Amino acid sequence: MLQRPAAVLSPTSEQLGKSARRAWLLFAAIALVIVATALTGAGFYARRAEVAALAAQGRTDANLKVALLRAVLESPRALPLLLSEDQQVHDALQNKGAVTIDVLNRKLEGLVSGTKASVLYVTGVDGFAIASSNWRETTSFVGNDYGFRAYFSGAMQSGTAEYFALGNTSKRPGLYISRRVGNAAAPLGVVVVKMEFDQLEADWHEANRPAYVSDDHGVVLITSVPSWRFMTTAPLAGPVAAAIRSSQQFGNAPLIPLPITRPEALSPDVSMVHAITPGGSDAEYLRLSTLVQSTPWRLDYLVPVEAPIAAAVREMRLLALGVVVPLLALAGYLLWRRQSAQMRIAAEQAARIELERRVVERTHDLSLARDRLQAEITDHRSTEAKLQVMQQELVQANRLATLGQVAAGVAHEINQPVATIRAYADNARVFLERKQTASAEENLGAIAALTERIGGITEELKVFARKGRTAAEPVELRGVIEGAVVLLRSRFAGRLDALDITLPPVTLKVMGNRLRLEQVLINLFQNALEALDGRDGARVQVSAQETADGVALAVADNGPGISPAILKSLFTPFNTSKEKGLGLGLVISQDIVADYGGRIEVASGQAGTRFTIHLARAA
């Protein structure tokens, strides 16, 4: 007997209206939170990404400025050495005759015109200048006393000296490089070359991008902002400031700190600072610091960040709004449809209640169908959750596989210098036992160089983590070949005679990175020498030649060749014929060459194997 179903209470139109208003208020609050979060997150991400990009570009610019400075420094450094051995200089210091000194004045004048030096002059042991390249000028150094200068006393005591100071006569700053004439027991005088950096500072000058060089006390020596010269990167200690003022090294400069404040370190060589440039207001800059090799100096380069960061933040926030606003609009549309559906369902439910009172069986069937639909929805949600878990597991597995390949590649590349370090260390111990300290020091120096190489390899791992690559630069191919041979010398002692190397001229350069290209050659040389182990008449020919599209470097051996099975998948990871090999050496080598737009070709037969590396020729 069919039973009459109980009456079902449905929400009224007034109740649905109140519920809809509450839903729209909640939606508006959530939308505001989402928009605010999106704008904040977009701004943070854009700032971080733009700072990283500016730091990378700034680091490149700073390195170029250091290279330009070193080029200016290296050119005149040989002049004091050459002049200290010059017979005319010796004659002038010993005789001090007017004719001899006149000849020397003219000689110094001619040398200055052909170099980047500002002034060349010679002093006696009393510090008085007897000849100078500016002997014709009103600011001539001839007859002036420079005995109180540190570069004079340093040269007299140690033989050589370098000293940056404000000129006592010219009132122009510059670097003084001096060398003693004669030996310590019987000195004749001192040769001094002064270098000024006006042209370098002009070359450095960029609108709103200051650069400056400071010494080991933090005093600014060279700068693209003239008013910053002889300021300090930090307040000087009282005794240090007093000593500098007493020596008149920088004249009457007040030695006050630079107008740079609030440093925030981002990395060892990068920090965010606020600086006030001449004619400008307090602005935020990215400061990149790098040491100037062969000097105690440091170069700081300021890159303005406010405008680029503001533009990047603005673009990223517009992009975020372009994504979030349509999604919120879609969500609002779906909410409206849901509320409309609820209103419609409420009306339909009221009509259905009356129908269910008359047709109990149909009502029962509809209830069962609803239950089945609910079960299907539950199953669908469960399946969707499982698929999401599986997808996450696949992503994690892919990450672990990539991490394994990177770790294996680094272990393979570090294994070569570690083996060489061990051989050098064993040799050093033997040399020490034999009291051959000079040979031991040479081996220890080689070990230090190899540790720098390992540091370079680990730096490559950082580059890999940033999904970047070491920038290409002109590299002397001859030096790459010689460096690879040096690293293999200990491991293959007595077997390197098999190498038949035709060294290319020093002028032949390719685009790449010396460290990474040495890794490629070490791998190819090692493979060839191991393939020839125990064979009579073993020979590995190495040669380079220019081609129409670059440079081809060939490494050919007369070994047994590579089997077709191995040759077919030679550049596939973990494919190797060696018992202890990882099968990664050639894969890594191919990736390195490809990074610089090159390729590796291989040909193998019964007469041996030939690898040819094609690289772009440096302009």
CA dist 63 and 470 (Å) reads: 14
Identify the pLDDT of residue 459. 54
The fold of the 199-304 domain, in CATH, is Beta-Lactamase (3.30.450)
CA dist 503 and 488 (Å) reads: 17
Identify the pLDDT of residue 97. 78
CATH of 85-196, one of 3.40.190.10, 3.40.50.620, 3.40.50.2300, 3.30.450.20: 3.30.450.20
> How many residues are recorded in the chain?
619
CATH of 387-468, one of 3.20.20, 3.30.565, 1.20.120, 1.10.287: 1.10.287
CATH class label, 471-615: alpha beta
CA dist 237 and 255 (Å) reads: 11
- For the stretch 593-608, pLDDT in tens is 999 999 999 999 888 9
CA dist 613 and 555 (Å) reads: 8
Residue 195 in contact with residue 222, Cβ under 8 Å?
Answer: no
Identify the pLDDT of residue 399. 36
CA dist 401 and 573 (Å) reads: 12
Question: For 236, which DSSP code?
Answer: P
What mean pLDDT is predicted for residues 192-218? 87
Residue 390 in this model has a pLDDT that exceeds 50? yes
Equal CATH topology for 199-304 and 471-615: no
- For the stretch 12-40, pLDDT in tens is 667 777 888 888 888 898 989 998 988 88
Residue 288 in this model has a pLDDT that exceeds 90? yes
Q: Where are the domains of the chain?
A: 85-196, 199-304, 387-468, 471-615
- Split at pLDDT 50, 70, 90, the class of 180 is very high
Residue-averaged pLDDT of the chain: 83
Nearest to 191, CA basis, from 141, 126, 120, 137:
120
What is the 3-state composition of the chain as percent helix, strand, coil, each rounded to the nearest 5? Answer: 55, 20, 25
- The model carries a pTM of 0.49
For the chain, the C-alpha Rg in angstroms (whole number) is: 38
Identify the pLDDT of residue 494. 72
CA dist 231 and 253 (Å) reads: 8
What residue type is 130 in one-letter code? I
